[in-house]
Structure 1
Amino acid sequence: MSDSPFAPPTPVGGESQRPEAGDDAQQSSAVVTASSTRDEVAPTADAETPADAAVGSQSGTDVATAPGQPFPWEAPPADVPPAAPKAPVGRVRKRTVAAICIGALSLGILGGAGGAWAYNEWGPSSSSVALPSVNGASVDRPEGSVASIAAAVMPSVVSIETTTAQGSATGTGFVIREDGYILTNNHVVDGASNDSVKVLKSDGTIEEGKVIGTTPEYDLAVVKIDEKGLTPLVLGDSDQVVVGDAAIAVGSPLGLDSTVTTGIISALHRPVTAGDGTQAPAYIDAIQTDAAINPGNSGGPLINSAGEVIGINSAIASLGGSLTQQAGSVGLGFAITSNQARRTAEQLINDGEATFPVIGVLLDERYTGEGIKVVDDSSGVIADGPSDVAGIEPGDIITQIDGRPVTRSDELVVAIRAKAPGDDVVLTIKQGDSTKDVTVTLGSNSEVNVDEPAPQPSE
C-alpha cells in the first residue's frame, strides 16, 4: 500500500530537574531531603561547612536537619556578639510577616502573569483539533496526531457487506467523490448478488450500494451510493512515500468497524500476486506496512501523517508464506499504491472497466537463469506489439526495467502494471552475447492480444 509525528509535544517547561528516588540518570542511591517536598530552610547550627553539606547531598547520603533550631532573626549564634535591637521583637515579627505577605502577593501576581504568558506562547496551538469525548466534552489533540487524523478520516470510511451465493462477507471502502463514489477492493464485492452491497457509514446509517465497475487485474472496484455532500479522502502521491514514513490503517477488521491501527512503511515495490484462482490474478506493485491489517481491512485506506491516502489495503502475508485475506496480521500487510488506484478508479467511473499496460511478449516460466526469458519461438513476441516494434526478439533475456533488476516474471509484470498505456519504459536485455537498453512504449490490453497462454517448452 522517522521521527514519529504522533508524539505529543513536551509539556511547557519539561520535566523537573530535581533528582528523584530511583532516577539512574541523576544518582544511584535514594536521596530524601526536606527540599524535595517543601521550600529550603536555613542551615542548621551543627552543619560543618557549606562545602561539607554539598558533598553529602551529591553523594546520595540521607540528609536530615536537627529539630528546634532558631531562625536567624530570633537569636544569633553564641560566638557572635548580639547586635543592638532596632525594634521590639514583636514589631520585627509583625513587619517580617507583613513583608512576607506582600512578597508572596507580589510573587503570586507575577507568577500568574508569567504563567499566562507562557501558556499563550507554548500552550496548546490554536490549530489543535477538538475531538468529541464520551461525556460530550471536547478534548484537544495536536494537529497531525493519530487522534486528529483518525477524527478527520473516519467519517469518510465505510464498511461494505457483500452477500454472495457462498454467504456474506465484510470489507472496507472509502469515499473518493462527494457524489457517492466509494473505492474498495474487487475481492470485497466479487460475486455480489445483483451487483448490490450494503454500505455502513460511520454515523451508523446503512445505504444500498451499486457496484459500477471492477478490475480483477488490479483488485479494485468502485461502488456508488445515492447520496451527495459526502467528504472524499484525498488521494496523495504514493511516489513520494519512503520507507520509514508513518502509516495509519483504517477499516473494519473481523467486522469491527472504525478500527484504527498504526505502523510505518516497511518496504516499497513489493511484487504481490493475489487472487483465489477463480479470476485472473491481480499483480500489485505494493506498499508494505507493519500497521495491523486483518480480514475486513481490505479496501480500506492506508493514510500518511498528512491525512492523505497513500494506499488501499489489499493483502496480508500468513506465516505459511502465502498472500491471503484470511490469515491474521503478522506485521506484513500490502497496499495498492494511491497513484495506481486513482488512474484505475477514474476508468471504472467513466467506462465501467479498466485497461492495463502490456509489452506484448510471452515469458518462459520454466527458465531459471539470470533475468527473465522471452519464449524462444515465434509466439514469444506478439507481431506488431510494443516489444516487436522496439526490436525485442524471441529468446531475449530481460534483466532490468528502468534500471531496476528483475529476476522473476511477476516482478516484471508488476513493474509494467504500475505504469499506464502510452508510458515509456527502458528494458535492459541480453540478446545473444550483447547487452543493450531498449525503450518500449507500453500498449493497452484492449489493443494487444495477450490472452494466448505461454507454451510449455519441452524439457
Structure 2
Amino acid sequence: MPWSSPAGGGTPEEGAPTDATTVHPTTVHPTADHPTPAHPAAAAPDGTQHAAQAGPWQASQQWQAPGQPWHGPGQWPAGPEGAGRRRRRGTVGTGVVVLLVLVALLGGVVLGALGARALWPAQTSGALPLPSSPTSTDRAPESIAGIAAAALDSTVFIEVVSGTSASSGSGMVLREDGYLVTNNHVIAAAADGGGRVAVTFIDGTQEPAEIVGRTADYDLAVLKVDLDGLTPLPLADSDSLVVGDPVVAVGAPLGLEGTVTSGIISALNRPVQAGGDSGGTSFINAIQTDAAINPGNSGGPLLNTAGEVIGINTAIAQAGGRQTGSIGLGFAIPSNQVRRTAEQIIETGRATYPVIGVALDTRYTGEGVQVLQDGAADTPAVTPGGPGDEAGIEPGDIITHFDGQPVTTPSELIVAVRSRAPGDTVVLTVRTEDGQEREVEVVLDEADSG
C-alpha cells in the first residue's frame, strides 16, 4: 500500500520525508455552518495513507453526523457557574431514527414470541426451563465490561470553541488534583488565547479547562480543571507490551461519549508522522491496535486487561485516501512517553525532545538514512558542538542502525530518537561515503518542543 505524508517542517532532524505515513487525527470538528462532528484537516494523527515518515494523522475532509449537538459561540457557558452541571451526550439525528426503527422491529419480534408462547401451552414433561433473570450486573474486573466500568469515570469528553467553529475529542484524568491529558491536536485551536475548552465527565459535570502546556512534537497536551478528588487512571509500563495483548479503547467517537471498543495490540514501534495546520508535526513511536478508533477518540485511553493505560489514542489509517472511519488500524502514543512528557509540562509548562544534531536528506533512496551533504546557513548538516558532531558524524554519512535496529527512512530514525529521553546514550551504525562502517555512541541533546 502506498503511503504519503503531509508536508511539515521541524528541527534539523525533522525533515519531512516524502515517504512518510499520513495519518488522520481522531478529533471531531463541527463548524458553525455545519453543527456536526467533522473529521478535521488538523495537525494530528488519525489516518489515511502512510509514507516513509509515518506519523500523526490529519483529515482533509469533514466527518459529519447529522444532528450532532455542539456549543456555538452564543451557547458557551459563561464561566465556572454557567459551565458547570450540564450533561451533553452525542446524538446523531438520522442514526436515532434508524435505531428507533430497529428497536421497533426487535420489539415486534419479542412481542410476537411472547404471543406465540401464550397460544402454545408448555409441555407437561421434558420442558426446558426458562433462563433466570440475572440479579447483578457485576462483571469480573479483568473483563471488558469490568475495565470499561472502571475507566469511564476517568475518561472525559472535550469540546473546543474557537471563533465560529467547534471541535471535540477525548481525554483522561491524570491526577486527582484536576490534571488531565489529551492530544495537542484536540485543543490546538484554543491555544494561545484562541478559544475555550470545556470538559464533561461521565456524570454530566462540565467544567472549563485551562491549557497547562502542550507539545506538537509528541501530540500531547495537559489540561487543568478546578476540581479535586478525581480518580486518575494508572499508567502502565508500555515497554512491557507484546503483540497480541488484548486492549480496550474508551472515548467519544463522533461525539458519542462513553463509547468502549476492544481489540488487540496488532504491532509495536510503528513510526508515525502526523502534521499540518495548527497542530504542528508529530513523530510517534506508536502502538498499533485493531480496536475500533474513530474521529473523536483522540486523546482517550487505550487500556490493558489490568485497567492500566498503555497509550493515548491518537490516529487512524485510511485506505486510498478515503476517510470512512476505522478500518482496524489505530495508533496510540505509548504510556511511557505520555508519563515523561506530561510530567515535564506540569513541572515546567513546556516539554522537550531529544536530538542528535544532524539534518537528514529526504531525497536519498539508498540503504539507511543519509545526513545532508550541504546544509543551509541556518540549518547546518551537522550542528557544530552537537551530539552528532561530537560523535564524529560528518555530512554525507549514512546511518544504517539505531541501537542495533535497522533504520530505512528519516521518519524511522526521528521516531527512534524521540522515543528516548535527553541525556540517553544511543549507538548509531554509520557508513562513510567510501564504504567504511563504524559504530558511534551519541549522547542525546534536547530541544524545546513546540
- TM-score by shorter chain over 0.5: yes
Contact 1:317 1:327 in 2 (8 A): no
Alignment partner of 1:158 out of 156, 159, 179: 156
Deviations 1:195-225 (A, max 9, x none): 5311000101111111110100100001100
Q: How far 1:186 sits from its partner (Å)?
A: 0.3
Alignment match, 1:428: 429
Distance 1:306 1:282 in 2: 29
Deviations 1:147-167 (A, max 9, x none): 111111110000000112351
Secondary structure in 2 matching 1:140: coil
Contact 1:401 1:425 in 2 (8 A): yes
Contact 1:158 1:199 in 2 (8 A): yes
Alignment partner of 2:373 out of 366, 376, 390: 376
Distance 1:171 1:251 in 2: 8
Unaligned runs of 5+ residues in structure 1 are 2-35, 39-132, 452-459
Identity of aligned residues (%): 58
Distance 1:392 1:238 in 2: 32
Distance 2:143 2:279 in 1: 40
Alignment match, 2:402: 401
Within-5 A mapping of 1:333-352: 333-352=330-349
Give the alignment's Cα RMSD to 1 decimal.
2.2
Q: Counterpart amino acid of 2:344?
A: Q
Contact 1:165 1:191 in 2 (8 A): no
> Which has the greater radius of gyration?
1
Q: Counterpart amino acid of 1:419?
A: R
Q: Counterpart amino acid of 1:286?
A: A
- TM-score (normalised: structure 2): 0.67
Within-5 A mapping of 1:6-405: 138-165=136-163, 167-192=165-190, 194=193, 196-320=196-320, 327-377=324-374, 379-405=380-406
Secondary structure in 1 matching 2:437: strand
Distance verdict in 2 for CA 1:344–1:166, change over 3 Å? farther
Q: How many residues are paired up?
A: 315
Q: Counterpart amino acid of 1:443?
A: D
Distance 1:166 1:270 in 2: 36
Distance 1:197 1:277 in 2: 19
Distance 1:191 1:140 in 2: 41
Q: How far 1:327 sits from its partner (Å)?
A: 4.5
Q: How far 1:142 sits from its partner (Å)?
A: 2.0
Q: Counterpart amino acid of 2:394?
A: E
Distance 2:196 2:341 in 1: 21
Q: How far 1:339 sits from its partner (Å)?
A: 0.3
Q: How far 1:140 sits from its partner (Å)?
A: 2.6
Distance 1:433 1:166 in 2: 58
Q: How far 1:275 sits from its partner (Å)?
A: 1.9
Distance verdict in 2 for CA 1:353–1:327, change over 3 Å? farther
Distance 1:196 1:351 in 2: 22
Distance verdict in 2 for CA 1:268–1:161, change over 3 Å? same
Q: Counterpart amino acid of 2:233?
A: L
Say which structure, 1 or 2, has more relative contact order (CA 8 Å, 6+ apart): 2
Unaligned runs of 5+ residues in structure 2 are 1-44, 46-124, 128-132
